[in-house]
Amino acid sequence: MKGQTDTKPIFPDLDNIRQQFPLLARSVHGHPLVYLDNAATTQKPLSVIESVDRYYREQNANVHRAAHFLSACTTHAFEAARETARHFINARFAEEVIWTRGATEAINLVANSWGRSQLKEGDEIVLSRLEHHANIVPWQLLAETTGAIIKVIELDESGNLDLQQYQRLLSQKTRLVAITHISNAIGTISPVKAIIELAHNAGALVLVDGSQAVAHQEVDVQALDADFYVFSGHKVYGPTGIGILYGRRELMESMPPWQGGGEMIERVSFSGTRFNSLPFKFEAGTPNIAGAIGLGKALEFLAGIDFAAVNAHESQLRSLVEEGLTQINGIRLIGLAEQKAPVVSFVSSEHHNQDIGLMLDQQGIAVRTGHHCAMPLMESLKLNGTVRASFALYNTIDEARAFVDAMEKLHHSPLYNAHPEANSDKGDESGNTRAVITEATDLPEIFRHQAPGLVTITARLNGLSGWQERYRQIMLMGKELPVLSGEWKGDDARLHGCESSVWLHYHYDDETMRLYFIADSDARVIRGLIAIVLAVFSGKTPEEIEREDIEDWFRELDLFNHLSPSRGNGLKAIVREIQAIAHRYW
């Protein structure tokens, strides 16, 4: 792999750090795991895993109020974790740290408590094109109920926020700016300090979504002068189901509770309720005690590492991968902001994102594909999604090289050159055993040419053990699937619930009382899997379709290891639609 990035290790303690993450030692599909999906969730160090295990083994009890020993131990650990979090983000007071289920709940808390009590018709909320859905939808729901208006900061061609346009958006009507610190989809680092200063000058408050920032750089909420700052534990080496809302004390004290229940009250009677003080006013019910303790340990782990070294190491990995990918024909990098986190997002003119993700997975390389919960961003980029590799402090230069090498192989190996557009009625190496329907005399011509039958499919796949051979056969089956022309790919035929685009049509033959299906997809592997689905269901009566279990066939063909959850859900969406159609005729 060529490139100009210096590949000399600059993080000398990396081997020791990796040893603290047990999951990194495992293999996937016979290959060492290369985990490059850190923007979705990070792996957990032993200190976090052991702290959660120790809580349940040695001190499981509820926090606060109880007089017994276990509760006292648990309460101390729970509140010590809060103090760790306070120190980690440099909040002034521990009561400014509110435990939540994650960044999403933290944003919803602010929207429902501060927003519903403060906003009125005509007030304005400023968001950016970079936002995760979690920092868009709560404000849309709030705007619907209050009459507030949402305005959007746009991007330049490189993925930087347009600060001049942002300044033009600000006015006396601006009440809140909700901005991501780092884009999860393309890695842009927002100039949050400048954004906050401009917002405050206009009289607006600022909420920062720091979910992608806290694992990669020091965050000082006082230096930023943030009004609210939120993040999720699982993206900063902590457990799932726990997160933090930081809010300035004077703001939080003036906000009404969002959820009612135990802990958030001081006194309850049927004549009225007096609420508890901060932080408990916003922590109704039994909290995620183990999660809070685990997050505290994760932040302690990070606090013991030199962030400057982490930043340099992660930047080195990103630069190495970006340089490697730019040398591969057909790959286009998405997001080239001046300031970037260790996120590399790209598309390929040769392969569908979903195909890339699945074929990398078979080599033990974990990446994320899709819209990354950033549909408005993808819409502005005129993309359905991207492939995203995201790095963490435990990733290595060798892993970055392995990823680029795999992408080079993917784009240069004839194994994957099974373009569906290359369909032909002439023979090919698969035998081109497309089935032709003859028994239904009134069947439209397009439905007469079907995918290979189950007998043929079973014969091809049985005895194949290597992933390369199996994928070759799956893609060749997809190649034999009839390609639908443009008029058959309308929105009315497109199925929801599939990561790739899938179109499905059917015809009911009154003479034979059988249903026939045709389908197509823009993902090559999905086309091959659709061929199997159609072989199972097409040409059968509604009663027969209702009795079929596609999962049994995939088990028999030993394909479950080749289905990611998202791809599995997509196939289920196709099967559900086929079964719903059959039900209409039964």
**Cα–Cα dist 163/416, whole Å:** 43
The pLDDT tens digits for 465-486 are 666 677 778 888 888 888 888 8
420 and 410 within one domain: no
Q: What is the pLDDT of residue 500?
A: 79
Instruction: Give the burial class of 295: count Cβ atoms within 10 A of its Cβ; 0-12 exposed, 13-18 middle, 19 or more buried.
Output: buried
Q: What is the pLDDT of residue 82?
A: 98
420 and 324 within one domain: no
Tell me the two tokens of residue 466: 């290597």
Contacts of residue 201, defined as CB under 8 A and 6 or more positions apart, other chains included, come to: 170
Last residue of a domain, one of 386, 415, 444: 415
Q: What is the pLDDT of residue 419?
A: 40
**Cα–Cα dist 510/294, whole Å:** 63
Domain that holds residue 489: 416-585
The number of distinct structural domains making up the chain is 2
The pLDDT > 90 percentage for the chain reads: 67
Tell me the two tokens of residue 56: 């349940």
460 and 539 within one domain: yes
List b or e across 66-92, with b for residues whose CB sees 16 or more CB atoms inside 10 angstroms.
eeeeebebbbebbbebbebbbebbebe
Rounded to an integer, the average pLDDT of 31-48 is: 98
The pLDDT tens digits for 421-444 are 434 333 344 444 545 455 555 678
- Please give, one letter per residue, the 3-state secondary structure of 477-499: HHHHCCCCCHHHCCHHHECCCCC
408 and 499 within one domain: no
Active-site residue identified among 137, 150, 373, 437: 373
* Helix (H/G/I), strand (E/B), else coil: 10: coil
pLDDT above 90: residue 550: no
Q: What is the pLDDT of residue 179?
A: 98
Tell me the two tokens of residue 407: 């992408």
The pLDDT tens digits for 94-119 are 999 999 999 999 999 999 999 999 99
Residue whose token pair is 């784009």: 411
pLDDT above 90: residue 570: no
The pLDDT > 70 percentage for the chain reads: 90
Residue 73 designated active-site = no
Q: What is the pLDDT of residue 416?
A: 47
460 and 411 within one domain: no
Residue 580 lies in a domain: yes
pLDDT above 70: residue 547: yes
Query: Strand 435-436 relative to strand 449-450: parallel, antiparallel, unpaired?
Result: antiparallel
Neighbours of 104 (CB within 10 A): 21
476 and 374 within one domain: no
Pick from 1-5, 279-283, 341-345, 488-492: least confident: 1-5
**Cα–Cα dist 176/378, whole Å:** 24
The residue ranking higher by pLDDT, 228 or 419, is 228
Answer yes or no: pTM beyond 0.85: yes
Q: What is the pLDDT of residue 167?
A: 98
Rounded to an integer, the average pLDDT of 301-327 is: 95
For every residue of 188-224, DSSP letters joined together read BBP-HHHHHHHHHHTT-EEEEE-TTTTTTS---HHHH
Pick from 257-271, 288-302, 303-317: least confident: 257-271
Q: What is the CATH number of the domain that holds 374?
A: 3.90.1150.10
* Helix (H/G/I), strand (E/B), else coil: 81: helix
Tell me the two tokens of residue 236: 């900063």
Tell me the two tokens of residue 497: 């619930």
Q: What is the pLDDT of residue 284?
A: 93
Residue 233 lies in a domain: no
Residue 579 lies in a domain: yes
Q: Which pLDDT band, with edges at 50, 70 and 90, does 9 fall under?
A: low
Q: What is the pLDDT of residue 475?
A: 81
Pick from 135-144, 354-363, 385-394: least confident: 354-363
- Chain-wide mean pLDDT for the chain? 89
Residue 570 lies in a domain: yes
Residue 578 lies in a domain: yes
The residue ranking higher by pLDDT, 148 or 566, is 148
Contacts of residue 398, defined as CB under 8 A and 6 or more positions apart, other chains included, come to: none
520 and 454 within one domain: yes
Cα–Cα nearest to 481, from 505, 451, 510, 507: 451
CA distances (Å), 383 to each of 334, 372, 386, in order?
10, 12, 7
First to last CA, the chain: 59
The pLDDT tens digits for 403-420 are 999 999 988 875 544 444
456 and 322 within one domain: no
Residue 178 lies in a domain: no
Q: What is the pLDDT of residue 504?
A: 92
What stretch of H or E contains 27?
strand 27-28
**Cα–Cα dist 425/421, whole Å:** 12
452 and 388 within one domain: no
Q: What is the pLDDT of residue 426?
A: 38
Residue whose token pair is 């439905």: 447
Residue 86 lies in a domain: no
* Helix (H/G/I), strand (E/B), else coil: 437: coil
Residue whose token pair is 């939808």: 137
Rounded to an integer, the average pLDDT of 187-204 is: 98
Asked whether the CA dihedral 229, 234, 238, 240 is positive or negative, the reply is positive
Q: What is the CATH number of the domain that holds 437?
A: 3.90.1010.10
Cα–Cα nearest to 93, from 297, 252, 288, 256: 252
pLDDT above 80: residue 11: no
Contacts of residue 220, defined as CB under 8 A and 6 or more positions apart, other chains included, come to: 89, 90
Tell me the two tokens of residue 205: 């408050």
422 and 386 within one domain: no
Residue 62 lies in a domain: no
Last residue of a domain, one of 415, 442, 476: 415
Last residue of a domain, one of 375, 397, 415: 415
Q: What is the pLDDT of residue 390?
A: 98
Tell me the two tokens of residue 116: 């519903």
Rounded to an integer, the average pLDDT of 336-350 is: 96
442 and 333 within one domain: no
Pick from 15-24, 126-135, 143-152, 455-464: least confident: 455-464
**Cα–Cα dist 161/231, whole Å:** 21
The pLDDT tens digits for 118-171 are 999 999 999 999 999 999 999 999 999 999 999 999 999 999 999 999 999 999
Pick from 172-176, 445-449, 491-495, 512-516: least confident: 445-449
398 and 503 within one domain: no
